[in-house]
Amino acid sequence: TGQPTSTGPAAETQPELRTLLTVEEAARRLSIGRTTMYALLKDGQINSVRIGRLRRIPAPALTEYAARLTTEQNVA
């Protein structure tokens, strides 16, 4: 079919399958800019972790943020 498969060790390096994402990867998944993503992190709206000097966003934190936005907008 010409489509790449998502099985095997190479699939573990795809951003959608990673447990921890870079700020840029997380921003792409939310379809927002990097600056907006940093603002959300600074405001504590999205959880992140530090590994040495690196900032990483747990993939579930993006799902939680999106769910919270949906709930808040449906209530308002």
At residue 2, does pLDDT exceed 50? yes
> What pLDDT, on the 0 to 100 scale, is given for residue 74?
87
For 1-76, list the strands marked E by DSSP.
20-21, 49-51, 54-58
> What pLDDT, on the 0 to 100 scale, is given for residue 76?
66
Q: Round to whole Å and give the CA distance between 61 and 47.
A: 6
pTM: 0.74
Q: What is the pLDDT of residues 37-66, one digit of tens each?
A: 999 999 999 999 999 999 999 999 999 999
At residue 4, does pLDDT exceed 60? no
